[in-house]
Structure 1
Amino acid sequence: MNIIRSEKNPIITPEDVKPSRPDFKVVGVFNCGVTRFNGEILLLMRVAEMPINNNPKKELVPMIDLKTDKIVVKEFNKADSSIDFSDSRFVRTPTDQYLTSISHLRIARGKNGIDFKIDKKPAIFPESKYERFGIEDPRITQINGRYYINYSAISDITGVTTCLTSTTDFVTFTRHGVIFMPDNKDVAIFPEKIKGRYYALNRPVSAEYRVRNIWISESPDLVYWGNHLKLMSAREKYWDDGSIGCSGVPFKIEEGWMEIYHGSSKINRYCLGAVLLDANEPWKVIARSEKPIIEPEMDYELHGFFGNVIFNCGNLYEEGKVKIYYGAADTCIAYAEVKLKDILYQLK
């Protein structure tokens, strides 16, 4: 695959982002939704923060206090053998699981698609029991002049739900609540109605069998979703034999709807591929990537907070090119582009 990475990669790093409070540090900026707005490219970035910790014997975990809706910090003793600290993303006790960071959504704006000015304050901040451990991985769908933003809300109380908010100016946001029940994430809403209905790709997880498939659902109003149909699964002996999920918002081409999706191998190596869906019946798969469009190869993709990962929440299709903004190693944002004809050529 002839994919071109920016020479300036990574284009946004944690050092570029101001923490939301003085006792926190930014450990990751990644997995951004993408759109054009007021003559600029706008990135709605996931910003992961951790409390500054000067005690190597302790692990600090940030979360929303349900009584005050404010962030508090919980301490864990690293000498406690009953607690699992082996994964940098989690603290696992015998009864509970916590995240070591908490994420909010922040805006970056730029004209050339590579150089961005980052807002000093969060755009959307976690604030409820559904968002106790943070909000993650936004996708932006523009419909009739309004921008609908769905994101994953993480909580030990409610599980992983998908919430929806919307805006016309990226200054004020209207929250529409939970649109997909737990555990469901990686939601991508189509940018127009199809036969009078809205459609969304999503990735529910079976709590009992740990099955992770991409489904498609329909809605009359973007809030209430039903008629859920399984769309596609992970594939044995392929690059996506572990799990799969939606990435950017589907975009329409002459051949149908193109979705850039992510897949992981059984050893948690995350790559991006593509699937072509029927234009009028998007629950029908026409063709799918046999090989990744892009896979972890560069140092910033191989090493970071969680390495060997390329993960995408937003892309632009312009001038025959798919412009991909992706999270690298759960740490930074990078950019790559590929010609649509090259993607279509390797679909089977």
Structure 2
Amino acid sequence: MMHNFFTLDIKTNSKNGMVMLRGFVYVFLIFSSFSALAQSKEKEWMLGPFERDQDARPILGKNSESEFKDPITHQNTHWESMATFNPAAIVKDGSIHVLYRAEEKLGEKEIGGHRSRIGMAISEDGVTYTKQPVPFFYPDEDHQKQNEWPGGTEDPRIVETEDGTYVLTYTQWNREVPRLAVATSKDLVHWEKHGPVFQKYEQGVYLNRETKSGAIVTELKNDKLVAAKINGLYWMYYGVPHIWLASSTNLKDWAPVETYEGKLAPVLSPRPGYFDSWLVEAGPPPLLTEKGIVVLYNAGNSQNIGVKELGNRIYTGGQALFDPNEPWKLLDRTDAPFIKPELPFEKSGQYKEGTTFLEGLVLFNETWYLYYGTADSMVGVVKAKP
């Protein structure tokens, strides 16, 4: 087990854009031949099968030297010195843009005790990824500071609209209440923060309730994933330990789907006896297909009531199918994970139980690229032909 080999400390040379590892040039090579660790396709409607490349390794890792002058503390910070993980992805100008959660190490704190910002890496070929030198999205002296400081901005998902607007959902973490929030941009550089997604719903009844993981439904148009409307509304799967559903007319203000009693109605829940016995959590933006809405989700296993051989609290990936006209109606779901931690870098890091935590999905050069966080520490990718 080559755990030490996969503990990456990466430095980006701002002069030439190359990625460097402890003083020598290091390019992440993702080989084209497939690995024997590929997952099978359990059901006909699923996306995939997704496969690791031979000799697969992480595409992004931490950098203990990159610096960013924080606008709140006015100090230079090592903004990705702890970990880089939980990536979103979007295709723009013929390149893949990977948006990743970067943690600044703050002492020896536990998970959730460091500070997060969102960085970006760009790939023109899906093989090599060049990090940008500073984060593009972070807590600032703005109207969202009270929601984002001191914990930061975390776990992005991103979609594009038909008019070219980019919509970012992310978690605001002030170390009191995690809140699902939204921001928009026309260029992936300049962003407008719109605040918590449920702040205007029923006088903010859900504003102080824990929310996260907002995955907006998309459809494939001209080889691009764009936000889809169903019955005149946009839809978003969100949350943990259940997955809930919300709708919106403008992608900024959202209304959760409730029962007639006014309570949140979970549309996907953990199942005793299966790989998702502990929790389920929304993954990358779902895809509206001819068969229905395919939702890729993250699944936690409770070993005593789940799958014993998986271990306890391990994160794997599942897929669920929802009705294309009634997004709350579950039609089918997988009985086994289609991806799970198998390689050393997927099982070593902050979260030692292991994760393949799914957050980014793009179609690029006629290939699906599915990006995931590994053990709350690095970024990996698997691929599939449509």
Q: Structure 1 length as normaliser, TM-score?
A: 0.78
CA positional deviation for 1:47: 0.5
Equivalent in the alignment of 1:74: none
Equivalent in the alignment of 1:79: none
How do 1:27-176 residues align onto structure 2 when only pairs under 5 Å count?
Answer: 27-51=82-106, 59=108, 88-89=110-111, 99-127=112-140, 128-132=145-149, 133-144=151-162, 145-157=164-176, 159-176=177-194
SS in structure 2 at match of 1:138: strand
Equivalent in the alignment of 1:310: 356
Equivalent in the alignment of 1:223: 252
SS in structure 1 at match of 2:147: helix
Deviation by residue 1:284-324 (Cα, 9 ceiling, x = unmatched): 11211111111011000111111211111111246775421
Deviation by residue 1:212-256 (Cα, 9 ceiling, x = unmatched): 211111122223322514211000010010001101001122212
Q: Is the 8 A contact 1:17 1:118 kept in 2?
A: no
Equivalent in the alignment of 1:272: 317
Does the alignment pair 1:330 with 2:376? Answer: yes
Equivalent in the alignment of 1:209: none
Identity of aligned residues (%): 26
Amino acid at match of 1:261: Y
Distance 1:320 1:265, change over 3 A: farther
Unaligned runs of 5+ in 2: 1-38, 41-49, 70-75, 199-206, 218-226, 258-264, 303-311
> 2:216 is matched with which residue: 184, 189, 192?
189
Distance 1:183 1:140 in 2: 20
Deviation by residue 1:28-83 (Cα, 9 ceiling, x = unmatched): 111111110011000111101114x5xxxxx5x6xxxxxxxxxxxxxxxxxxxxxx
Deviation by residue 1:74-96 (Cα, 9 ceiling, x = unmatched): xxxxxxxxxxxxxx32xxxxxxx
Q: Is the 8 A contact 1:251 1:317 kept in 2?
A: no
Q: Which has the higher strand share?
A: 1
Q: Is the 8 A contact 2:243 2:268 kept in 1?
A: yes
How do 1:179-258 residues align onto structure 2 when only pairs under 5 Å count?
Answer: 179-180=197-198, 181=207, 182-190=209-217, 191-203=227-239, 212-228=241-257, 229-258=265-294
Q: Is the 8 A contact 2:64 2:82 kept in 1?
A: no
Equivalent in the alignment of 1:299: 344
Equivalent in the alignment of 2:222: none
SS in structure 1 at match of 2:135: coil
SS in structure 1 at match of 2:297: strand
Q: Is the 8 A contact 1:19 1:26 kept in 2?
A: no
Distance 1:117 1:318, change over 3 A: closer
Q: Is the 8 A contact 2:77 2:104 kept in 1?
A: no
SS in structure 1 at match of 2:136: coil
Cα root mean square deviation, aligned: 2.0
Q: Structure 2 length as normaliser, TM-score?
A: 0.71
Distance 1:16 1:324, change over 3 A: farther
Amino acid at match of 1:249: P
CA positional deviation for 1:4: 1.9
Q: Is the 8 A contact 1:260 1:274 kept in 2?
A: yes
SS in structure 1 at match of 2:82: strand
SS in structure 2 at match of 1:300: helix
Distance 1:260 1:319, change over 3 A: farther
CA positional deviation for 1:19: 3.8
CA positional deviation for 1:189: 1.3
Distance 1:32 1:116, change over 3 A: same
Distance 1:332 1:142 in 2: 25
Distance 2:134 2:63 in 1: 15
Q: Is the 8 A contact 1:17 1:120 kept in 2?
A: no
Distance 1:318 1:110, change over 3 A: closer
Equivalent in the alignment of 1:56: none
Equivalent in the alignment of 1:92: none
Q: Is the 8 A contact 1:49 1:101 kept in 2?
A: yes
SS in structure 1 at match of 2:213: strand
Q: Is the 8 A contact 2:228 2:288 kept in 1?
A: no
